[in-house]
Amino acid sequence: MAASGVFSTDAKVGISLQEVATVPKFQLLISTNGSNAKKYVYVRAGAGLGSTANVNVGTGGTATSGSAGSLYTVAIAGGVTSGQYFWAEKKLT
């Protein structure tokens, strides 16, 4: 079965980077490279965040609403709700 969407290409091969969870599946702030040549970091939503929201990632791994200058974006169809775990996509600079 072929993987669909964006997935990890390094030691965490096969992980869907568009998956949202209610319990953590990985250590917060762990990072990986995606099949789309972008970097991702595993975080917990500190509030509801839209699918294209810019986010700031704190040292504890909590993602909060950010601005256009933020380093990360949600990039999850439908966004995430407070407390959910997801892979935040690092914006290209």
The residues near 67 (Cβ < 8 Å, ≥ 6 apart) are: 54
Where do runs of H (alpha helix) occur along the chain? Answer: none
Instruction: Report the predicted TM-score, pTM, of the whole model to 2 decimal places.
Output: 0.86
User: Which tokens hold the place of 72?
Assistant: 């990360």
Residue 69 DSSP SS3 = coil
Alpha carbon 2 to its chain's center = 21
2 pLDDT higher than 50: no
Tens digits of per-residue pLDDT, 59-74?
A: 999 999 999 889 999 9
Running DSSP on this structure, what letter comes out for residue 47? S
Q: d(Cα 66, Cα 10) in Å, to the nearest integer? A: 28
Q: d(Cα 85, Cα 45) in Å, to the nearest integer? A: 6
By mean pLDDT, which of 12-16, 38-42, 49-53 is the weakest? 12-16
